A and B are shown apart, each in its own frame.
Chain A
Amino acid sequence: MARLEDEVLEEFFRRVEGDDQVDDRVGAALRSLFAGNASPKAEAIVELIDTLSEEAIT
């Protein structure tokens, strides 16, 4: 079922990248994160989002 998992992930990235309310860099960063770790921990995801959010504010 790796195929379904890949399809779900791809659709997930596509939706994130297509969301105007989400920083464009988030989708690419998530792709990179999931490419390096199939099941990243919550902390890694939070760090990624926090970093990009802080950069976006400042």
Chain B
Amino acid sequence: MIQIEEMWIEEFRGIRDLHLALDGECFAVWGPNGTGKSGVVDAIEFALTGDVSRLSGSGSGGVTLAKHGPHVHRRDDPAKARVSMKVRDTSSGETSVLTRTVKSASSFTLELDLPAVRTAVDRASQHPEITLSRREIIKYIVATPGDRSKEIQALLKLERLGSVRASLRSAKSKTAATLKALNKSAEDARRSVERHLDVPSLLASEVLAAVNARRSLLGLDPMESVDDTTNLSADAGGGAGGSGFNRDSGLRDIDALLASVTDENGCAGSAGRLEESLRALDDNPGILEALKTRGLIEEGLAQVIDEHCPLCGIAWADGESLQTHLAESLRRSEQAAATRSAILVEAKQLTLDLSAVAGLAKSVRNIADRLGDARVTAALDEWVDTIDVSSGELANIDGIVACRGVVKAEPTLSPEGVFAELEEFRGRVESTPDQTAADEARTFLTIAQERWSARRSAVAAERAADAADKTAQAVYEHYCGAQDEGLALLYQQVQERFGEFYRAINNDDEGEFKASLEPSAQKLDLHVDFYSLGMFPPVAYHSEGHQDGMGVCLYLALMEQLLGEEFRLAVLDDVVMSVDVSHRRQFCTLLATFFPDVQFIITTHDEVWARQMQRSGLVAKNRQVHFLRWNVDDGPAVMEGEDFWDRIAEDLDRHDVSGAAARLRRNLESALAGLAEELGGLVPFRAAGGWDLGELMSAVKGRYGKLLKAAAAAANSWNDEDARERVEDAKQKWAAASFLQESEQWAVNPAVHYNEWANFASEDFRPVVEACRSFLDLFRCVNCGTQVHVSRTNGRDESVRCTCGAISFDLVGK
């Protein structure tokens, strides 16, 4: 994986020329909406993948990277729109500068074409999910179980698991369908033998009785046993003319064919059930159309972003009406899918019954051919052909609908007048001269053997199909078992980490939080604990802010699973804007403590959140950029992160006391506002905020003094000498710094007019700066660089501490 050391953005999206020094560390981009922050996110995505999902995803409405990627003033010059990033391969430590232009977006260049870096960039390019927007996180939380399963499996790149499962399921269905057809063929073959032998079943005794009666007439030894391999016509002769003609058997075949027309267990019954299933289309003609357009509607519904239909461009009254319309269409198509399935089942049964009729027709056709009856032969050939063609049509809905009328009128699809022909033909067969007993016996045995062999083949095919079906079923079940167990384990790990992360953010009021990710079929149910009152879907009771927090936690748990130790870079694009202020510190702590090796690049429009990232130590002071405003000609006006003490020193070196004083006061107000928040300092209530330096200073001093008193009392109650000494030391430092600060505060009092600073020399002002700095340093840990804060549990102040714990005063007494 890679991390970003530096980046240069030129003429890309809303940015004209911007350089950012990230140094592989967490970095914040903050500023009001519309100042170009997302341009940085787009630039990172573009540099890594050659794409900007916002310009190519659903709802982009004709916007393309090629046309709209360059800054509007450079829209005809895509070669000028470029993003370069100095990236470091986290495995080898090697660095190189990657450059990609909109003109050649599909490829990138490396200043030093190092194989390790190229591999790392290629790897990163396969993971666009390292960029996360709020729209993306919330879909994991508020999605339906089916959609959530798809989204999460897509994020985890598990689509192949689903596609393999679908292939195995389809294979199982195909073998089952083949088995069903061959069951029918074997059954037809069995009946054909029974009909010819004129026996009620193929019990060995029945078969032997019929066969041995003819063998006796031919003077042959009786058979004592029979099995599939027995030659029923052994030693009977029969010549080269094939099975020949056997009148009684032929008459039974003709009768069976004639009876098939009205057989309720055959075509008549299955055609009736098919017609019944087709009536669903009559009751709701739109179903068929909905079925045809189902896929299109699904795509369209996903792309609705306003009142314009993404499929046809027609404008609706509002987007909600359009979505309702498409959802209703989809619902109708779901009905259609069920109807389609029912129709296909009945059509398949009719196909099998027609196949039996075709088998009978072929038998009779052979008799007609043997007797030289060309008209009947032609009629039966036509019938068999019609059944063949129609069986193909009955395999799909359009074909079924097309031949519905014919099937309804004549379920066996017999040509017109064929039954009259058959009745006449039967009379002719019946009136054929009597065969000699020997000829009758011989033809009986040869036809019996022919059908016995056909039955054996049909049964063998049925057995093979049965074995194949059992194998396909077992293979599918083994895959499902392996996949379900694998995913269950994965989701269990994800749910545990998800819960752990969420508790880390919300330990003050949801310390017992737990989550449950339950996979079932193609769904993934997410339930979360709500104040130990039960497990519910996240949207049931949790606020939008909590859902946002869950979304990020789930994302982090998933990324941890997806990339493991390679999870080293993530871009969070305004994803925690709904998280309430009191939980943002914990969120920063979560990122810093659970993912110390991950470079987070975080954008936000919220200044409080931006400062929180800095105070918590997640983002260093010089690893942020403040976008002040934006205009089309210049792009964003930025103020890069800086150590304001250095800037004040520079001001004083230039003898700009006014500038130094203004900068000091502005930054003191900001720092004290943050401290007041972290410590719980009280200021006079004002709906619009806007406290002055004196109010903030009083709030911080007063609160910190009380906290130290409480810490001393707690240390005394526990008789903890070490704690007592540490608190005492802190109190002395606090007193000294406060005294110094108070003695110099007049110089930065708002009442002091700027003009008065003009009378100051730089050296006069330096002690003021040092006093203020010493005061603020009281609250910063020299180890981890973070400011102290009050740690609370269930609304109770528990300790004053920094992030690493080097500063830690317990507030709870015995």
Chain A nearest Cβ from B524, distance in angstroms: 15
Name 6 A/B residue pairs within 8 A (Cβ), A-sorted: A8-B161, A8-B487, A12-B478, A12-B483, A39-B164, A49-B475
Contact at B478–A42, with CB atoms within 8 Å? Answer: no
Contact at B474–A16, with CB atoms within 8 Å? Answer: yes
Q: With the chains together, A32 CA to B303 CA distance in Å?
A: 41
Q: With the chains together, A12 CA to B475 CA distance in Å?
A: 8
Residues in B neighbouring A39, C-beta threshold 8 A: 160, 163-164, 167
Contact at B464–A54, with CB atoms within 8 Å? Answer: yes
A7 and B475 in contact, given A15-B481, A50-B464 (Cβ under 8 angstroms): no
Contact at A53–B464, with CB atoms within 8 Å? Answer: yes
Q: With the chains together, A43 CA to B694 CA distance in Å?
A: 79
Contact at A52–B471, with CB atoms within 8 Å? Answer: yes
Residues in B neighbouring A54, C-beta threshold 8 A: 464, 468
Contact at A7–B472, with CB atoms within 8 Å? Answer: no
Task: Decide yes or no whether B490 CB sits under 8 A from chain A.
Answer: yes
Contact at B478–A49, with CB atoms within 8 Å? Answer: no
The interface bits of chain B over 164-199 (1 if a CB of A lies within 8 angstroms of the residue's CB, else 0) are 101110110011001000000000000000000000
Contact partner of A5 (CB less than 8 A), chosen from B161, B175, B468, is B161
Contact at B490–A4, with CB atoms within 8 Å? Answer: yes
Task: Decide yes or no whether B780 CB sits under 8 A from chain A.
Answer: no
Chain B nearest Cβ from A55, distance in angstroms: 9
Contact at A49–B468, with CB atoms within 8 Å? Answer: yes
Task: Decide yes or no whether A22 CB sits under 8 A from chain B.
Answer: yes
Q: Which residue of A lies closest to B486 (CB)?
A: A8
Residues in B neighbouring A21, C-beta threshold 8 A: 470, 474
Q: Is the interface of B mostly helix, strand, loop or mixed?
A: helix
**A-contacting residues, B30-57, CB 8 Å:** none
Contact partner of A8 (CB less than 8 A), chosen from B167, B472, B482, is B482
Chain B nearest Cβ from A21, distance in angstroms: 6
A22 and B475 in contact, given A1-B562, A49-B468 (Cβ under 8 angstroms): yes
Residues in A neighbouring B682, C-beta threshold 8 A: none
Task: Decide yes or no whether A46 CB sits under 8 A from chain B.
Answer: yes
Q: With the chains together, A42 CA to B471 CA distance in Å?
A: 14
Contact at B171–A1, with CB atoms within 8 Å? Answer: no
Q: With the chains together, A52 CA to B470 CA distance in Å?
A: 12
Q: Is the interface of A mostly helix, strand, loop or mixed?
A: helix
Interface residues, chain B, with chain A CB atoms under 8 Å away: 156-158, 160-161, 163-164, 166-168, 170-171, 174-175, 178, 460, 463-465, 467-468, 470-472, 474-475, 478-479, 481-483, 485-487, 490, 561-562
Contact at A46–B174, with CB atoms within 8 Å? Answer: yes
Contact at B157–A26, with CB atoms within 8 Å? Answer: no
**B-contacting residues, A24-51, CB 8 Å:** 26, 30, 38-43, 45-46, 49-50
Q: With the chains together, A9 CA to B486 CA distance in Å?
A: 10
Chain A nearest Cβ from B153, distance in angstroms: 9
Contact at A15–B464, with CB atoms within 8 Å? Answer: no
Q: With the chains together, A41 CA to B239 CA distance in Å?
A: 49
Contact at A38–B160, with CB atoms within 8 Å? Answer: yes
Contact at B482–A15, with CB atoms within 8 Å? Answer: yes
Contact at B158–A1, with CB atoms within 8 Å? Answer: yes
A46 and B472 in contact, given A11-B485, A54-B464 (Cβ under 8 angstroms): yes
A57 and B160 in contact, given A23-B471, A30-B475 (Cβ under 8 angstroms): no
Residues in A neighbouring B481, C-beta threshold 8 A: 15
**Given A4-B156, A11-B486, A39-B160, 11 further pairs, Cβ under 8 A:** A4-B161, A5-B161, A8-B482, A12-B479, A16-B475, A23-B471, A39-B164, A41-B167, A45-B167, A46-B472, A53-B468
Q: With the chains together, A2 CA to B478 CA distance in Å?
A: 19
Residues in B neighbouring A46, C-beta threshold 8 A: 171, 174-175, 468, 472
A11 and B468 in contact, given A46-B175, A49-B175 (Cβ under 8 angstroms): no
Chain A nearest Cβ from B364, distance in angstroms: 31
Contact partner of A57 (CB less than 8 A), chosen from B464, B472, B487, is B464
Chain A nearest Cβ from B9, distance in angstroms: 32
Chain B nearest Cβ from A36, distance in angstroms: 14
| In the complex, the 10 A-B pairs of residues with the closest C-beta atoms, listed nearest first | A42-B170, A53-B468, A11-B482, A15-B478, A45-B171, A12-B482, A53-B467, A8-B486, A42-B171, A57-B464
Contact at B475–A57, with CB atoms within 8 Å? Answer: no
Contact at B486–A45, with CB atoms within 8 Å? Answer: no
Contact partner of A1 (CB less than 8 A), chosen from B156, B168, B470, B472, is B156
Q: With the chains together, A1 CA to B474 CA distance in Å?
A: 26
